[in-house]
Amino acid sequence: MTDRPLLLVEDTQSLQLVYEAVLRSAGHDVVSAADASSGLAAFKKLQPPVVLLDLMLPDRDGLDLMRDFLAICPDTQVIVITANGSINKAVAAMRAGAHDFLVKPFDEQRFLSAIDNALSSKVRNGTDNRPGHDALEFADFIGDSQPMRRVYAKINSVARSMATVFITGESGTGKEICAQAVHDHSSRADGPFVPLNCGAIPSELLESEVFGHVMGSFPGAISDKPGAAAEAHGGTLFLDEICGLDLNLQTKLLRFLQTSTIQPVGATRSRKVNVRIICATNRDPLEEVRRGRFREDLYYRLHVVPIHMPPLRDRGSDVLAIADAALERFAAEEGRTFEALDPDVASLFRRLTWPGNVRQLLNVIRHVVVLNDGPVVTRDMLPFELHHELEHPETPPDLGERPRVTLDGLIGRTLAEVERMVIEETIATHGGSIPKAARVLDVSPSTLYRKIDSWKSDS
């Protein structure tokens, strides 16, 4: 509880009365406002620790009002409320600084849990609200490159929230480590962290693995199984390779996210669980939505706070820091005397594209340490296939003849022609890598692939 009242901004009188009754029965003091202007006045007067804010207000957009709240008092925990058809507004609010969101209709337990989590986060922030995070505080990460500093800052920002985190990145970039770091820096750090690889479990068993089953519900169910969602109660459920879920299970996962209720396979009753969801994929989730393999409503429900794990080739000298740390650890484990990389090996590591990312680098160092002894890692100790990666750079897509882009060359052209020239030049500048060009242009790689396909069909 807090000595300052909560602020409720809700224009529907019946809902305002219901919310007030629930909050007061749970011991919370609450002040209500029916529109943005009175809500802003009450906020300035009360400086409430938590605000419950309906995004659809009669006199002003709720998202703009939230920005005013946070400008006045940045550490206020704002819980936004929105209708089911406006989840995209809730997502925008989370990215603008909201602590959590509720989608109507929601039950009393979900409502009070959101309040309790916001208040807990407020208390936590009061003692540990540092503006930045040094890389060393994320003990399982190694590297201090600018892309990783952005990841650390994002983890530090989102960890204290209850918002769903959606981690993307190529295979081997450390998505599970990122999920673990979010959990470890959250108010749920004392609770369980339960990882589940959706892509490694047969589809017919996934429902049981996620939601559990009761004995005798299907052949082989010789005892009750709680399932990952129940095991993660009070903590974090990490769903890796989320795009591997079949559509039927996606529907059940969406229902779970909306109600916080699970029903094990074969059970006649459902039960409530309190978990935070973190998910990850090495695919382009929007492309999966476009192809009908991933539900759009589930995507927007999960894709609240995105974190992109950079590939190793974009992390500069991090590759050497990771290699040195791995060499020290593996040498100690295997009883070897390795101490350093030969300068030629270090130069090679910096030039390689590392398609398997950090996982591939660790495997290379492990290979060297197991089969050789030090004190220096030389080029002849490296796996044979590693030498050939420099000889096979990524092949650029066939874009045909394209003129060099200059400002003079853009004048007099249509907007579509200018867009194509800029995209093609960016792809060429980055060695034909569409993912790299997409990051520079701040679009999804699937967007560039679609445009290239359309140009080919038009020619």
- Evaluate whether 39 touches 16 at the Cβ level (below 8 Å): no
Q: Is 285's pLDDT higher than 60?
A: yes
The model's pLDDT over 329-354, given as tens digits with 9 standing for 90+, comes to 999 999 999 999 999 899 889 889 89
Q: Is the pTM of this model over 0.85?
A: no
C-alpha–C-alpha distance, residues 227 and 256, integer Å? 13
C-alpha–C-alpha distance, residues 12 and 14, integer Å? 6
The band of 202, judged by pLDDT with boundaries at 50, 70 and 90, is confident
Q: What angle do CA 103, 108, 114 make, to 5 degrees?
A: 60
Question: Per DSSP, what are the bridge partners of residue 446?
Answer: none
CATH entry, 407-458, from 3.90.1580, 3.90.550, 1.20.58, 1.10.10: 1.10.10
C-alpha–C-alpha distance, residues 260 and 274, integer Å? 7
- Evaluate whether 235 touches 182 at the Cβ level (below 8 Å): no
Q: How far is CA 184 from CA 138, 167, 180, in A?
A: 9, 16, 6
- Look up the CATH superfamily of 6-127: Response regulator (3.40.50.2300)
Q: How far is CA 80 from CA 43, 111, 124, 320, in A?
A: 15, 11, 21, 44
C-alpha–C-alpha distance, residues 61 and 83, integer Å? 14
Residue span(s) of the chain under CATH 1.10.10 come to 407-458
Residue span(s) of the chain under CATH 1.10.8.60 come to 312-391
SS3 label, residue 130: coil
C-alpha–C-alpha distance, residues 280 and 236, integer Å? 13
SS3 label, residue 271: strand
- Print burial letters for 44-76: b (CB count within 10 Å at least 16), e (below 16): eeeebbbbbbbbebeeeebbebbeebbeeeeeb
CA-wise closest residue to 201 among 252, 256, 239 = 239
The model's pLDDT over 10-60, given as tens digits with 9 standing for 90+, comes to 999 999 999 999 999 888 999 999 999 999 999 999 999 999 999 889 999
Strands 271-272 and 261-262: antiparallel
Question: Per DSSP, what are the bridge partners of residue 53?
Answer: 9, 80
| Number of residues that make up the chain | 459
**Assigned CATH class of 143-308:** alpha beta
Q: Is 124's pLDDT higher than 60?
A: no
Question: For residue 26, what are its two tokens?
Answer: 């749970």
Q: How far is CA 66 from CA 39, 235, 454, in A?
A: 10, 28, 41
Which amino acid, 229? A
- Evaluate whether 241 touches 200 at the Cβ level (below 8 Å): yes
Across the chain, mean pLDDT equals 84
Q: Is 131's pLDDT higher than 50?
A: no
SS (H, E, C) 276-331: EEEEEECCCHHHHHHCCCCCHHHHHHHCCEEEECCCHHHCCCHHHHHHHHHHHHHH
End-to-end CA distance of the chain: 66
Determine whether 353 is exposed, middle or buried from the number of CB atoms within 10 Å of its CB (0-12, 13-18, 19+): middle
**pLDDT score, position 137:** 46
- Residue 405 or 78, more confident: 78
Q: Which of 77-86, 216-225, 244-253, 363-372 has the highest mean pLDDT?
A: 363-372
The band of 369, judged by pLDDT with boundaries at 50, 70 and 90, is very high
Largest distance between two CA atoms of the chain: 76
- Evaluate whether 55 touches 80 at the Cβ level (below 8 Å): yes
Owner of token pair 């068993």 = 205
Question: For residue 408, what are its two tokens?
Answer: 């003079």
HSE-up (13 A, CA, CB side) for residue 133 = 24
Residue span(s) of the chain under CATH 3.40.50.2300 come to 6-127
The band of 135, judged by pLDDT with boundaries at 50, 70 and 90, is very low
**pLDDT score, position 368:** 95
Question: For residue 72, what are its two tokens?
Answer: 């006045």
CATH entry, 312-391, from 1.10.8.60, 3.30.310.160, 2.60.260.20, 3.30.43.10: 1.10.8.60
C-alpha–C-alpha distance, residues 171 and 358, integer Å? 9
Q: What angle do CA 132, 133, 135 make, to 5 degrees?
A: 145
**pLDDT score, position 192:** 96
C-alpha–C-alpha distance, residues 345 and 367, integer Å? 14
Question: For residue 214, what are its two tokens?
Answer: 């009761």
